[in-house]
Amino acid sequence: MEIKTKMQIKNNIAKLGIATLMVLLCYSCGNSTIAHQYHSLPNEGWERDSVLNYEIAVDSLLEKCNIDIELSYNNNYPYRNLYLFVSGADSTNNQIFSDTLNITLADEYGKWLGNGWGTSYQQRVEYRNSYSFPTAGLYSITVKQGMRDNPISGIERVGVRVVSY
């Protein structure tokens, strides 16, 4: 009797493990990363005229996308917010969007937002949700800093992530 009970428990654990794996696989199949690119910035700082360019290849028009801006920063950044100029263009350089973002990096008490430990932090900012590119093809997304100081210190990396769903 005791042997059957142990075998039943092992079978139930195995079934639960397989079911959990199936749920995770189905969930992960719903989103597909189209692009995920980073630019590292120099230790001397991010110059105002430095344009970060991200090339995005879009294969299908049927998919809606989320476009996120990802930031890595450290304690040397002197402000609680960061202004960014973000724009997108198609392969013929026709502008399809252009925005000024005001991203909050720290709360009013100076506590850094986002994830991190020590002196480094990361933050993902939702930029455009449910976005549809006008046609299939190659696009570029550009990011420039819009702060008054030139250069700005403490911003380590800037990334763009495009995920279809």
Q: Which long-range contacts link 83-87 to residues 24+ away (Cβ below 8 Å)?
A: 83/145, 83/146, 83/147, 84/143, 84/144, 84/145, 84/146, 85/142, 85/143, 85/144, 85/145, 85/146, 86/127, 86/141, 86/142, 86/143, 87/141, 87/142
Which pLDDT does position 86 carry in this prediction?
A: 98
On average, the pLDDT of the chain sits at 86
Which pLDDT does position 5 carry in this prediction?
A: 67
Which residues of the chain carry a pLDDT beneath 50? 1, 16-17, 19-29
| Total-model pTM | 0.78
